[in-house]
Chains A and B, each alone.
Chain A
Amino acid sequence: MSPVDAVAATLVAAGALVLAASSLALLVVRDTRARLHLVGPPAVVGAPLVVLGLAVDEGPSRAALKLLLVGAVVAVSGPLLTTATAYALRRHREDA
């Protein structure tokens, strides 16, 4: 296994671990407001780590740029979705 392969594999494994841990934590954490905390890290940390690993494995190319674009879209959307859900939660709870 070359060093590049090792770096790529480590990055992808780390990202996948963050994603799986956040998802499994959904089963443990029950409160909705606390569950909102679990939406951010997969999008901002997990997915970009996996994308970085895949891009390193790809090498400098246009395909790697496309991968990084996907990672950027996911990373930007994560915190926005968390905030939007928090607003909806506050309004939903006020009406209820």
Chain B
Amino acid sequence: MNVWLGAALALMVGGLGPALLVASRGDPLDRLVGLELGGTVTTVVLLLLARGVERPSYVDVALVLAVLTFAGTLVFTRYLGRSL
């Protein structure tokens, strides 16, 4: 357990927790905001975890997640803007 893993843990609790809470209840667009924040926080958590376990190759996971969060959330915004 080093500093990086500790920071990742703190971010998971303080960052992902509220984002997941907001993403699980309420209006669809409120949930989308929770999803966006959750995606950003998860990317950073993955970067910190990659540094914490000292595996530089795990940064690729964070890169893929950053790109997919971006594309996926845009798909949701188009869908929510049209229907409902």
Contacts and interface: CB of A to CB of B under 8 A. Distances in A.
A80 B41 CA distance: 17
The 6 closest A-B pairs by CB, nearest first: A88-B81, A77-B70, A20-B14, A84-B77, A88-B77, A91-B81
B84 A19 contact: no
A92 to B, nearest CB: 6
Q: Is the interface of B mostly helix, strand, loop or mixed?
A: helix
Interface in A27-59: 27, 32, 35-36, 38-39, 42-43, 46-47, 50-51, 54, 57
Interface string B32-73: 111011001101100110010000100110110011011001
Given A88-B78, A88-B81, A78 B40 contact: yes
Contacts of A95: 84
Interface residues of B, number: 46
B14 A88 contact: no
A88 B28 CA distance: 11
A54 B27 contact: no
B59 A67 contact: yes
Contacts of A88: 29, 32, 77-78, 80-81
Given A20-B14, A42-B41, A50-B48, 19 more contacts: A12-B4, A16-B44, A24-B18, A27-B22, A36-B33, A39-B37, A39-B40, A46-B44, A66-B59, A67-B47, A67-B59, A69-B63, A70-B59, A74-B40, A81-B36, A84-B77, A88-B32, A92-B80, A92-B81
